[in-house]
Amino acid sequence: MNAYKAPLADIRFALYDVLESDAHFARLGMDDANRELIDAVLDEAARFAENVIAPLNRVGDEHGATYDKATGAVTTPPGFKEAYTQFAEGGWTGLESPTAYGGQGMPHTLGTAMKEMIHAGNLAWGNFPLLSHGATEALLHHGEEWQKDAFLPPMIAGRWTGTMCLTEPHCGSDLGLLKTRALPKDDGSYAISGTKIFITAGDHDLTENIVHLVLARLPDAPAGSKGISMFIVPKIKVGRDGALGDANTVRCGAIEHKMGIHGSATCVMNFDDAEGWLIGEPHKGLFAMFTMMNGARLSVGLQGLGLSERAYQNALRYARDRLQMRALSGAKFPEKPADPIIVHPDVRRMLLTQKALIEGSRLLGYHATLALDTLDHGKDEAERAQADALLGFLTPIVKACITEWAIECTYHAQQCFGGHGYIQEWGMEQLARDARITTMYEGTTGIQALDLMGRKVMQLKGAGLKVFLGMIGEFCAARANDEALAEFVGPLRDLAQEWQQLTMGIGQRAAGDAEEIGAAAWDYLFYSGYVALAYWWARSVAAADASSQSQAFKDAKRETARFYFARILPRTRTHAAAIGSGAGTLMRLPAEGFGD
């Protein structure tokens, strides 16, 4: 009963009318990424998501990934393997990868649009190829030439997949506590021993090999996070010439039984003197890890976007069909026994909340990867530095806010269905369960908030924030006398000023009490997210008015922006007040005061 249709009209509006991405690609020298090619890629990605993997979404949830205790092998749900074969044969696994290793060299922003559709179609299935991209990026930036030559072509071709093996049972997000060991061997390899948990796609039956990137400690490693190194540990050993050898001593010890994403294999991985190769410099593994992690965080933000979009589509369809009661102002469909529930204000509140958060989030997420394209392909060093600062600042906002909004959007979608939203038949409860994990893996919302507040704003002196505030200032100045946008430009300009003041206030209080950083972080994250969406909604109205879109499309953008500014943006008042209350409201209560 639960279906998905790729929102190509709004994706194209975001890419072309608002972000002007095709012109941006041309300026970066990415001449192949013209509008004709982008449209073709979008159409094919939509076809695959709608027709191949979306029908498997419920199959994966009901059947789940299965584990054979005797062999340690994981089997994916029915249809997953065939869908992956189509995906790899279609060249999707290498869409953004360099042509030198068999990829297509397309922009990350185009890959972002594709990933949104994949995650909306089937989040659990999309997890299997998801981390391969991060693993290839780590190899590209930190690997030796032989490692790139041996591992990248089959990974980019989709014959092999990749994982990130980071955390362990005792350390959670504090990777400085990890215990996995790496002992050097005479041939230049290392013997890796330890246990890693929560490893997405740690084992499966989709490909002939799985390449694990593993964090471990060398014998001479200093304590803490400064003593972590990264190693390539394939499931099947790989020679320097790229040839497959014997099975490595790495095995899946179990798969987790989870609240959602049942079709995705979340594995406990055991390494027993497994053959591995150092990637990057000794004791610099965290630096290499963040090459993977930051890309994965952006991708998880897109998972939240995809789930929100699918939930909204089904809620909207149901609201138009479901007949219940009459409109308060009188029957709107007198020929029917009752009006469809879309006439009721509260249902409209829930639908508009979803629409506003989804369409604003799409621009927020796509803009972040447009900065990534600038970082990778920009010719001007100053432009690349600015893009790097902006990308770092936006990444925790994209990851945390869009996934938390996915919880809200899937909740509202369930509510639109009433009791039908709680039963399996309509598929809404699966979307709500699947969405929950997106706020946790690749760093919880609290971790993202600390990254934004502590590192990206305080430690880096707000470099990325300054870039974003500059964008807002430039837009508001250019539209200062535009009466058609006055209702958006004025509030946006005032919020940008308050954003600066809040940031300065936190910094001043933190000089006397370091706890102020953590106390403000969560509210600062969401304050930032809501102001960012206000900017994109103002930009959306301006872009729609100037476009060749239909009048109905333009009116829908304007009215949704008005709803956002009137009913969602005021949430910034609560977050600003919480930030201003200081750390004492959180920290004065002693531990025993919480109860037994």
Amino acid 291: pLDDT: 81
Amino acid 385: pLDDT: 96
Counting Cα atoms < 13 Å in the Cβ hemisphere of 498 gives: 18
Q: In Å, what is the CA distance from 482 to each residue of 19, 258, 479, 496, 557?
A: 20, 52, 5, 19, 17
Mean pLDDT, residues 13-39 taken together: 96
* pLDDT tens digits along 302-359: 999 999 999 999 999 999 999 999 999 999 999 999 999 999 999 999 999 999 999 9
Contacts of range 505-514, beta carbons closer than 8 Å, 24 or more positions apart: 505/579, 505/580, 506/453, 506/458, 506/579, 507/458, 509/582, 509/583, 510/458, 513/583
Give me the torsion for CA of 118, 124, 128, 130, rounded to 10°: 50
Mean pLDDT, residues 183-189 taken together: 96
Based on the number of CB atoms within 10 Å of its own CB, is 194 exposed (0-12), middle (13-18) or buried (19 or more)? buried
Whether 442 is a known active-site residue: answer yes
The answer to whether 389 and 128 are in contact (CB under 8 A) is: no
Percent of the chain at pLDDT > 90 equals 93
Amino acid 175: pLDDT: 67
Query: Which of 20, 442, 498, 516 is flagged as catalytic?
Result: 442
pLDDT at 176 over 80: no
pLDDT band at 172 (very low <50, low <70, confident <90, very high): low
Amino acid 171: pLDDT: 72
pLDDT at 174 over 70: no
The answer to whether 25 and 105 are in contact (CB under 8 A) is: no
* pLDDT tens digits along 375-402: 999 999 999 999 999 999 999 999 999 9
Q: Where are the domains of the chain?
A: 458-584
pTM for the whole structure: 0.96
Counting Cα atoms < 13 Å in the Cβ hemisphere of 252 gives: 28
The answer to whether 194 and 276 are in contact (CB under 8 A) is: no
Amino acid 289: pLDDT: 83
The answer to whether 77 and 263 are in contact (CB under 8 A) is: yes
Place of tokens 């020298």: 29
d(CA 514, CA 511): 7
d(CA 459, CA 470): 20
Mean pLDDT, residues 544-561 taken together: 97
Backbone dihedral angles phi then psi of residue 349, each to the nearest 5 degrees: -60, -45
pLDDT at 253 over 70: yes
pLDDT at 79 over 90: yes
Backbone dihedral angles phi then psi of residue 23, each to the nearest 5 degrees: -70, -35
Amino acid 173: pLDDT: 66
Amino acid 569: pLDDT: 98
Closest C-alpha to 497, from 446, 531, 524, 525 = 531
Buried b (16+ CB within 10 A) or exposed e, 455-467: ebbbeeebbbbbb
Q: Is 213 helix (H, G, I), strand (E, B) or coil?
A: strand
Amino acid 574: pLDDT: 98
The mean pLDDT of the chain is 96
* pLDDT tens digits along 265-296: 999 999 999 999 999 999 998 888 888 888 89
Mean pLDDT, residues 1-14 taken together: 95
* pLDDT tens digits along 224-242: 888 999 999 999 999 999 9
d(CA 281, CA 287): 9
> How many helices (H) and strands (E) would you count in the chain?
19, 11
Q: In Å, what is the CA distance from 277 to each residue of 147, 229, 285?
A: 9, 10, 12
Adjacent-strand bridge partners of 161: 210
* pLDDT tens digits along 480-499: 999 999 999 999 999 999 99
